[in-house]
Structures are given as structure tokens and as C-alpha cells.
Amino acid sequence: MPAVTRVLTDQKTITRQNLDQCAALPLDDEQVRLAIESFALTANNVTYAATGFDIGYWKFFPVEQDRKGLVPVWGFARVVESRSDVLQVGERLYGFYPMATELVIDPVAHGRSAVRDAAPHRDGLPEVYNIYSRVGPAASSDPYQALMQPLIATSYLLFDWLSDNEWFGARQIIVGSASSKTGLGLCAFLAEQANRPYKVVGLTGSANAAFVRELGFCDDVLTYDQVGELEQLDSVYVDMAGNAAVKQALHARLDGVLKHSSAVGLSHWDQFAKPEELAGPKPQFFFAPAQIAKRKADWGKGVIEGKITEATAQIVADAARWLTLQTHEGLKAALQPFADLAEGRADPQTGHIVRLS
């Protein structure tokens, strides 16, 4: 991997290291150099960092430093050098990048409008992260795509997974960190389900409760200190944050009626609850690529991708009424919003975009 500008993390803190541009190594045959133009920062990136070693996110963009990694982000890049017939200089790609200024890939064709990075270190990693979609010139919709597409894809896959499991027989589905973009997307999809047998309950911090209520996706909205007021009905808990105190209180409150507990995000990565400390069913981590693989087997190639695209467009079209974009210029400027997200200070009504070129 060529030496590139890097932001490194050790799962707990993001630090300035090698932030000066390094000389790029020459490309090998069939390789392409991408200059990263812009990317989004969300709580999803905190989860990538917090689970980098356990789930494998650090494997996508390996670095030489021990117990360090490049934080993955979603965004746009353009081809600035090519020794491949698959991609030409000037083409733009949307996909999964390191929080860095450039990336070298080994592209192979993937359908009509995408390429796959066939670099040896990516062999065996989930395909969804290895696919880069060709896109046109920079557009006003780019920030919304970078911010919303990966999150709402997860929202839809969670919805599909719950439906696939017949809601686990729940009469209420509780969404933790309902103010997060993934949480809001899931609440929206759950609320739209025809003849649903459950109610949608959003859990959020007191500062965000009014915002979640105003969006109208939840039947009930409770703050984290109101967990003791949850109705003791057959329930599913979908946790986007990983706050240990909230999880312990909820499991205790719903002991005997909690049918399933799903762990999706770890924006509260420093407050992790040990499974043995929880009453009732132990949390199971939701891994979106596994649901994609299942639906490909169930429905055939391209169907789940089409459903995700349609679902994402629906939420993105609505996002302009509640989401304010904030642009940060340069890689060093990414450090503060990342720290705010990691430490729970971020405003859910603000979307952070880092622009490099």
C-alpha cells in the first residue's frame, strides 16, 4: 500500500500522525490511484473504529503501526493515475475509503457501472465494502448520498431482517439512539409497515427527544432516564449506541418479555455492557452484509440492492427538511467532528462532510 496521508485510531482516540503528505509509491500493473474528494462522518464511523479489530474493519486499509488503523468512511474519489484498462483518469467513484487523501485499488469490472477492488488483502472481506460505483460529475446530491446511503442501507436491512424473523413476535420494537440517522431510518420503515402488530418506541437523549417526536416516525419517544416507563410487552430492542447503563436498565425492565436484543452500533463505545451482566437474551451483533448475502440467496442477484436503493432515495428525499449540512475543509478538519461523534456531542440534525478537493 502506498504511503498516504493518514488519520490513525487505537479504538479509543483519534490522533494526528503522518498528516503531512507523503510521496506516493509507483503503481503496479493493473492498479489505479484514487484521490479522495470528500467523505461523510457519522456515528457509523465510530462503530467501525470501535469494532475494527473484532469485526475486521481494519483489514480493508491495513497500516504498519501495531494496534492502529485507518478509519473507514463513505465518500467520493476520482482516478488521478491508472495502469488499468478498467478505469480511466478522470472517472469518479462512490464507495468505501480510508480517512485519508488517496487510495490505491486493483479494479476489476463488476457489472456495467461498478468495479471491485481485487487487492489480495481484500480477499474474503464482505463484498459490499469492496464495490465502487461509477458516478458522474460532482453534484449537490453528493453529500446526502455519502451521509445517508450507507446508514439508510443498514436501516433497511435491519427492517428486512426483523420482517424476515416475523418481528420475533414482538408487540413493541424499541430503537435505541433513535435520533441517529440509522435509527431514524429504521423507525421510518417500521412505521410504514402495513397492518403492523407492534408499536415503534424511540429511545434518545433528553436534548434530542423533541426532534425525534417532531419527525413523527415513532409511536412513543422516551428519554434514556425513562426506560423504567417502558411497557412490559413482548419486545425487541435494536441498540444503535451501546450505552451500558441504558442496556442494563432496559434488559432488567423487560426481563421475561424481551424476545431479542440486537447490537448495531457502538457510538457509546466506552460504555460497553458485558453480556453476563444483562438480564434476558444476550445481545447479538447485527452484521448487515450477512443479511445481504441471505437475501441474494433468497431472491437472486440484484433484488436486495434495488430495494436498498429505492428505500434510500425515499429517506434522502425527506432529509432536506431536517438535516443541515456542515462542510469541513481538509483532512485535519475531520478530527474535531470525529471526536464530537465519538464523545456524544454531535447534533443529530447536522450532517458532517469533509472535503479534500
**Cβ contact 82:32 at 8 Å:** yes
Q: CB-based burial of residue 124 (10 Å sphere; 0-12 exposed, 13-18 middle, 19+ buried)?
A: exposed
Neighbours of 53 (CB within 10 A): 14
Q: Are residues 23 and 103 in the same domain?
A: yes
Residues 6+ apart with CB under 8 A from 153: 288, 308, 311, 312
* 322-346 average pLDDT score: 90
pLDDT in tens, 209-264: 999 999 999 999 999 999 999 999 999 999 987 788 899 999 999 999 999 999 98
pLDDT at 156 over 50: yes
Residue 317 lies in a domain: no
Q: Rounded to an integer, what distance in angstroms lies between the CA atom of residue 160 and that of residue 143? A: 26
Q: Are residues 62 and 168 in the same domain?
A: no
Q: How many distinct structural domains can be found in the chain?
A: 2
Q: What pLDDT, on a 0 to 100 scale, did the predictor assign at position 230? A: 98
pLDDT at 301 over 60: yes
In the chain, the percentage of residues whose pLDDT exceeds 90 is 63
In terms of pTM, does the model score above 0.85? no
List helix spans (H) across the chain. 43-50, 52-55, 142-164, 181-192, 209-215, 244-253, 288-299, 303-319, 335-342
Q: Are residues 68 and 36 in the same domain?
A: yes
Domain end marker among 243, 274, 290 = 290
Residue 103 lies in a domain: yes
Residue 2 lies in a domain: no
pLDDT in tens, 99-147: 999 999 999 999 889 999 999 999 999 888 999 999 999 988 899 889 9
Domain end marker among 273, 290, 307 = 290
Residue type, 285: F
Higher pLDDT, 84 or 63: 84
Q: Are residues 134 and 168 in the same domain?
A: no
Per the structure, the complete domain to which residue 86 belongs is given by 7-138+323-355
* DSSP secondary structure string for all residues of 81-120: EE--SSS-TT-EEEEEEESBSEEEE-EEEETTTEEEE--G
Quick one: which of 154, 203, 153 has its CA closest to 178?
Answer: 203
Residue 278 lies in a domain: yes
Q: Are residues 37 and 153 in the same domain?
A: no
pLDDT in tens, 159-168: 999 999 999 9
Residue 225 lies in a domain: yes
Residue 318 lies in a domain: no
Q: Are residues 130 and 160 in the same domain?
A: no
Q: Rounded to an integer, what distance in angstroms lies between the CA atom of residue 166 and that of residue 23? A: 54
Q: Rounded to an integer, what distance in angstroms lies between the CA atom of residue 14 and that of residue 124? A: 27
Neighbours of 228 (CB within 10 A): 10
Q: Are residues 21 and 126 in the same domain?
A: yes
Residue 173 pLDDT class (50, 70, 90 cuts):
very high
Q: Are residues 117 and 21 in the same domain?
A: yes
Q: Is 39 helix (H, G, I), strand (E, B) or coil?
A: strand
Q: What pLDDT, on a 0 to 100 scale, did the predictor assign at position 111? A: 85
pLDDT in tens, 11-54: 333 333 333 333 467 899 999 999 999 999 998 888 888 777 77
Q: What pLDDT, on a 0 to 100 scale, did the predictor assign at position 18? A: 39
**Greatest CA span in the chain, whole angstroms?**
62
- The residue whose grid cell reads 436486495 is 304
Residue 206 lies in a domain: yes
Q: Rounded to an integer, what distance in angstroms lies between the CA atom of residue 326 and that of residue 353? A: 6
Q: Are residues 238 and 132 in the same domain?
A: no
CATH code, 100: 3.90.180
Q: Rounded to an integer, what distance in angstroms lies between the CA atom of residue 71 and that of residue 142? A: 20
pLDDT in tens, 259-294: 999 998 654 434 445 566 788 899 998 988 899 999
Domain end marker among 246, 270, 290 = 290
CATH code, 245: 3.40.50.720
Residue 329 pLDDT class (50, 70, 90 cuts):
very high
Q: Are residues 76 and 192 in the same domain?
A: no
Q: Are residues 170 and 282 in the same domain?
A: yes
Q: Are residues 90 and 177 in the same domain?
A: no
Residue 219 lies in a domain: yes
